Protein backbone atom coordinates (compact mmCIF):
# COMPACT_ATOMS: atom_id res chain seq x y z
CA UNK A 1 0.00 0.00 0.00
CA UNK A 2 1.20 3.51 -0.85
CA UNK A 3 0.34 6.37 1.52
CA UNK A 4 0.59 10.07 0.65
CA UNK A 5 0.55 12.53 3.55
CA UNK A 6 -1.74 15.52 2.90
CA UNK A 7 -1.07 17.13 6.29
CA UNK A 8 1.21 20.07 7.06
CA UNK A 9 3.71 19.69 9.93
CA UNK A 10 2.66 21.02 13.32
CA UNK A 11 5.47 23.30 14.40
CA UNK A 12 6.32 26.86 15.39
CA UNK A 13 6.61 29.16 12.40
CA UNK A 14 7.61 32.81 12.97
CA UNK A 15 5.86 33.85 9.75
CA UNK A 16 2.45 32.65 10.88
CA UNK A 17 0.02 35.43 11.89
CA UNK A 18 -0.89 35.57 15.57
CA UNK A 19 -4.12 33.59 15.08
CA UNK A 20 -2.19 30.66 13.61
CA UNK A 21 0.82 30.59 15.93
CA UNK A 22 1.76 27.21 17.33
CA UNK A 23 4.03 26.88 20.37
CA UNK A 24 5.39 23.52 21.49
CA UNK A 25 7.78 22.97 24.39
CA UNK A 26 10.05 19.97 23.91
CA UNK A 27 11.31 18.44 27.17
CA UNK A 28 14.58 16.48 27.02
CA UNK A 29 15.05 12.99 28.49
CA UNK A 30 17.10 14.21 31.43
CA UNK A 31 14.18 16.16 32.93
CA UNK A 32 12.12 13.00 33.36
CA UNK A 33 15.15 11.34 34.96
CA UNK A 34 15.13 13.93 37.76
CA UNK A 35 11.35 13.71 38.09
CA UNK A 36 11.56 9.96 38.73
CA UNK A 37 14.28 10.59 41.32
CA UNK A 38 12.10 13.16 43.11
CA UNK A 39 9.21 10.69 43.11
CA UNK A 40 11.35 8.33 45.15
CA UNK A 41 13.30 5.97 42.91
CA UNK A 42 17.07 6.12 43.67
CA UNK A 43 19.41 6.57 40.71
CA UNK A 44 21.05 3.24 41.51
CA UNK A 45 17.76 1.47 40.72
CA UNK A 46 17.34 3.09 37.32
CA UNK A 47 17.57 0.59 34.42
CA UNK A 48 21.02 0.44 32.87
CA UNK A 49 21.31 3.10 30.17
CA UNK A 50 18.04 4.76 31.16
CA UNK A 51 18.20 8.46 30.33
CA UNK A 52 14.60 9.34 31.16
CA UNK A 53 11.86 9.90 28.62
CA UNK A 54 11.29 12.74 26.21
CA UNK A 55 8.06 14.70 26.60
CA UNK A 56 6.38 17.60 24.85
CA UNK A 57 3.72 20.15 25.73
CA UNK A 58 1.55 22.01 23.25
CA UNK A 59 1.48 25.44 24.84
CA UNK A 60 -0.58 27.12 22.14
CA UNK A 61 -2.44 25.79 19.13
CA UNK A 62 -5.87 26.74 17.88
CA UNK A 63 -7.93 23.92 16.38
CA UNK A 64 -7.92 25.84 13.07
CA UNK A 65 -4.17 26.62 13.12
CA UNK A 66 -2.98 23.73 10.99
CA UNK A 67 -4.43 21.06 8.69
CA UNK A 68 -7.85 20.46 10.21
CA UNK A 69 -11.45 19.51 9.58
CA UNK A 70 -14.29 21.85 10.50
CA UNK A 71 -17.44 20.51 12.12
CA UNK A 72 -20.92 21.85 11.30
CA UNK A 73 -20.79 23.65 14.67
CA UNK A 74 -18.07 25.93 13.23
CA UNK A 75 -20.44 27.42 10.67
CA UNK A 76 -23.51 27.85 12.85
CA UNK A 77 -25.02 26.64 16.16
CA UNK A 78 -27.85 25.07 14.15
CA UNK A 79 -28.08 23.19 10.87
CA UNK A 80 -31.49 23.17 9.17
CA UNK A 81 -33.04 24.14 12.50
CA UNK A 82 -31.36 21.41 14.55
CA UNK A 83 -28.31 21.67 16.83
CA UNK A 84 -25.14 21.39 14.75
CA UNK A 85 -22.66 18.57 15.33
CA UNK A 86 -19.41 19.35 17.13
CA UNK A 87 -16.25 17.63 15.94
CA UNK A 88 -16.54 14.71 18.37
CA UNK A 89 -20.03 14.03 17.01
CA UNK A 90 -19.04 13.83 13.35
CA UNK A 91 -19.57 10.21 12.21
CA UNK A 92 -16.30 8.46 11.45
CA UNK A 93 -17.99 6.90 8.42
CA UNK A 94 -17.88 10.36 6.81
CA UNK A 95 -14.11 10.49 7.30
CA UNK A 96 -13.03 7.59 5.10
CA UNK A 97 -13.92 7.03 1.48
CA UNK A 98 -13.02 7.21 -2.19
CA UNK A 99 -11.09 10.36 -3.02
CA UNK A 100 -11.59 12.75 -5.92
CA UNK A 101 -9.36 15.71 -6.81
CA UNK A 102 -10.83 18.78 -8.48
CA UNK A 103 -7.96 20.63 -10.16
CA UNK A 104 -8.65 24.37 -9.87
CA UNK A 105 -5.06 25.62 -10.10
CA UNK A 106 -6.02 27.75 -13.09
CA UNK A 107 -8.31 29.93 -10.97
CA UNK A 108 -6.94 33.39 -10.22
CA UNK A 109 -6.70 34.85 -6.74
CA UNK A 110 -10.08 36.14 -5.52
CA UNK A 111 -11.98 34.41 -8.36
CA UNK A 112 -14.39 32.01 -6.68
CA UNK A 113 -14.78 28.40 -7.86
CA UNK A 114 -18.18 27.93 -9.48
CA UNK A 115 -20.44 25.01 -10.33
CA UNK A 116 -19.53 25.53 -13.98
CA UNK A 117 -15.82 25.25 -13.09
CA UNK A 118 -16.45 21.89 -11.42
CA UNK A 119 -18.73 20.50 -14.12
CA UNK A 120 -16.30 21.53 -16.88
CA UNK A 121 -13.39 19.85 -15.10
CA UNK A 122 -15.37 16.64 -14.57
CA UNK A 123 -16.54 16.52 -18.19
CA UNK A 124 -13.06 17.18 -19.59
CA UNK A 125 -11.54 14.38 -17.51
CA UNK A 126 -14.35 11.82 -17.64
CA UNK A 127 -14.87 11.97 -13.87
CA UNK A 128 -17.98 11.68 -11.75
CA UNK A 129 -18.88 12.79 -8.23
CA UNK A 130 -20.32 9.86 -6.27
CA UNK A 131 -22.11 9.98 -2.89
CA UNK A 132 -19.77 9.41 0.05
CA UNK A 133 -16.64 10.53 -1.78
CA UNK A 134 -14.16 12.86 -0.10
CA UNK A 135 -13.57 15.68 -2.56
CA UNK A 136 -10.24 17.54 -2.51
CA UNK A 137 -10.02 20.94 -4.21
CA UNK A 138 -6.52 21.62 -5.55
CA UNK A 139 -5.67 25.31 -5.94
CA UNK A 140 -1.87 25.12 -5.67
CA UNK A 141 -1.90 27.74 -2.92
CA UNK A 142 -0.28 25.35 -0.45
CA UNK A 143 2.99 26.73 -1.88
CA UNK A 144 2.32 29.82 0.25
CA UNK A 145 1.82 27.74 3.40
CA UNK A 146 4.16 29.06 6.09
CA UNK A 147 4.41 32.54 4.56
CA UNK A 148 3.04 35.74 6.04
CA UNK A 149 0.52 36.16 3.21
CA UNK A 150 -0.88 32.61 3.15
CA UNK A 151 -4.29 33.71 4.47
CA UNK A 152 -4.45 36.62 2.01
CA UNK A 153 -3.96 34.69 -1.24
CA UNK A 154 -5.89 32.29 -3.38
CA UNK A 155 -9.19 31.27 -4.79
CA UNK A 156 -11.95 29.58 -2.79
CA UNK A 157 -15.31 27.92 -3.09
CA UNK A 158 -18.52 29.76 -3.88
CA UNK A 159 -21.68 29.04 -1.93
CA UNK A 160 -23.28 27.51 -5.03
CA UNK A 161 -20.37 25.14 -5.68
CA UNK A 162 -20.33 24.05 -2.03
CA UNK A 163 -24.06 23.39 -2.08
CA UNK A 164 -23.72 21.50 -5.38
CA UNK A 165 -21.22 19.08 -3.84
CA UNK A 166 -23.40 18.54 -0.77
CA UNK A 167 -26.41 17.82 -3.00
CA UNK A 168 -24.29 15.19 -4.80
CA UNK A 169 -23.94 13.33 -1.49
CA UNK A 170 -20.57 14.72 -0.36
CA UNK A 171 -20.25 15.07 3.41
CA UNK A 172 -16.50 15.83 3.60
CA UNK A 173 -14.54 18.06 1.24
CA UNK A 174 -11.26 19.93 1.56
CA UNK A 175 -8.96 22.53 0.04
CA UNK A 176 -5.23 23.34 0.03
CA UNK A 177 -5.81 27.06 0.59
CA UNK A 178 -5.86 28.72 4.03
CA UNK A 179 -9.66 28.71 4.03
CA UNK A 180 -12.64 27.25 2.18
CA UNK A 181 -14.00 30.61 1.02
CA UNK A 182 -12.13 33.32 -0.80
CA UNK A 183 -9.46 34.87 1.47
CA UNK A 184 -10.99 36.37 4.61
CA UNK A 185 -9.32 39.82 4.37
CA UNK A 186 -10.53 40.14 0.77
CA UNK A 187 -14.10 39.20 1.70
CA UNK A 188 -14.14 41.74 4.50
CA UNK A 189 -12.99 44.52 2.19
CA UNK A 190 -15.44 43.61 -0.57
CA UNK A 191 -18.34 43.43 1.88
CA UNK A 192 -17.50 46.93 3.13
CA UNK A 193 -17.05 48.26 -0.41
CA UNK A 194 -20.29 46.84 -1.78
CA UNK A 195 -22.50 46.85 1.29
CA UNK A 196 -23.45 43.26 0.39
CA UNK A 197 -24.15 41.47 3.68
CA UNK A 198 -24.38 38.08 1.92
CA UNK A 199 -20.86 38.17 0.51
CA UNK A 200 -18.85 37.46 3.68
CA UNK A 201 -18.14 33.76 4.38
CA UNK A 202 -20.79 32.65 1.90
CA UNK A 203 -19.46 29.11 1.34
CA UNK A 204 -19.03 28.35 5.04
CA UNK A 205 -22.55 29.54 5.74
CA UNK A 206 -24.06 26.95 3.42
CA UNK A 207 -23.62 24.80 6.53
CA UNK A 208 -26.44 26.68 8.25
CA UNK A 209 -28.92 24.75 6.10
CA UNK A 210 -27.01 21.77 4.72
CA UNK A 211 -24.81 19.54 6.87
CA UNK A 212 -21.23 19.02 5.76
CA UNK A 213 -17.60 19.27 6.90
CA UNK A 214 -14.62 20.74 5.12
CA UNK A 215 -10.87 20.52 5.55
CA UNK A 216 -8.51 23.45 5.18
CA UNK A 217 -4.73 23.81 4.73
CA UNK A 218 -4.18 20.51 2.95
CA UNK A 219 -0.82 19.94 1.25
CA UNK A 220 0.67 17.68 -1.45
CA UNK A 221 -2.45 17.42 -3.61
CA UNK A 222 -0.12 17.55 -6.64
CA UNK A 223 1.07 14.08 -5.61
CA UNK A 224 -2.37 12.60 -6.25
CA UNK A 225 -4.11 11.46 -9.43
CA UNK A 226 -7.62 12.76 -9.92
CA UNK A 227 -9.13 9.43 -8.79
CA UNK A 228 -8.15 5.89 -7.82
CA UNK A 229 -7.35 6.36 -4.13
CA UNK A 230 -9.04 6.57 -0.75
CA UNK A 231 -8.83 9.32 1.85
CA UNK A 232 -8.69 9.01 5.63
CA UNK A 233 -9.24 12.16 7.67
CA UNK A 234 -9.84 11.23 11.31
CA UNK A 235 -9.99 14.29 13.58
CA UNK A 236 -8.81 14.44 17.18
CA UNK A 237 -11.80 13.74 19.44
CA UNK A 238 -12.07 17.12 21.16
CA UNK A 239 -15.41 17.24 22.95
CA UNK A 240 -17.54 20.23 22.03
CA UNK A 241 -15.01 21.67 19.55
CA UNK A 242 -15.72 23.46 16.28
CA UNK A 243 -12.85 21.69 14.52
CA UNK A 244 -9.84 19.50 15.16
CA UNK A 245 -6.40 18.89 13.70
CA UNK A 246 -6.33 15.72 11.60
CA UNK A 247 -3.71 13.54 9.94
CA UNK A 248 -5.11 13.47 6.42
CA UNK A 249 -3.72 10.77 4.13
CA UNK A 250 -4.43 9.33 0.70
CA UNK A 251 -4.26 5.54 0.43
CA UNK A 252 -3.48 3.53 -2.69
CA UNK A 253 -4.00 -0.25 -2.84
Judge contact between 161 and 115, C-beta under 8 A.
Answer: yes
Element housing 189 (H / E): helix 184-194
Q: What are the pLDDT digits (tens) for 57-107?
A: 999 999 999 999 999 999 999 999 999 999 999 999 999 999 999 999 999
The secondary element (H helix, E strand) that includes residue 58 is strand 55-60
Long-range CB contacts (within 8 A, 24+) of 18-24: 19/62, 19/65, 20/62, 20/64, 20/65, 20/66, 20/151, 21/60, 21/65, 22/58, 22/60, 22/61, 22/65, 22/66, 23/58, 23/59, 23/60, 23/61, 24/56, 24/57, 24/58, 24/59, 24/61
According to CATH, the topology of domain 68-252 is: Glucose Oxidase; domain 1 (3.50.30)
- Provide the residue ranges of all domains of the chain, joining segments of one domain with +: 23-60, 68-252
Query: 10-68: per-residue pLDDT in tens?
Result: 999 999 999 999 999 999 998 888 878 888 888 888 888 888 889 999 999 999 999 99
Amino acid sequence: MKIVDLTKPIQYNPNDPWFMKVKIKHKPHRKAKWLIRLLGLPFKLFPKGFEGWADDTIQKMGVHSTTHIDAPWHYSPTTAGKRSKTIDEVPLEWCYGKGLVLDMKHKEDFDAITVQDIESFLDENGLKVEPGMIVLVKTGRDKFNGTKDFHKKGTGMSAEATEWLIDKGIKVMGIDSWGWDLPLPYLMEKAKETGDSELFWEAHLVGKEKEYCHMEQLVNLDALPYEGFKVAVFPMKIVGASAAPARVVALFD
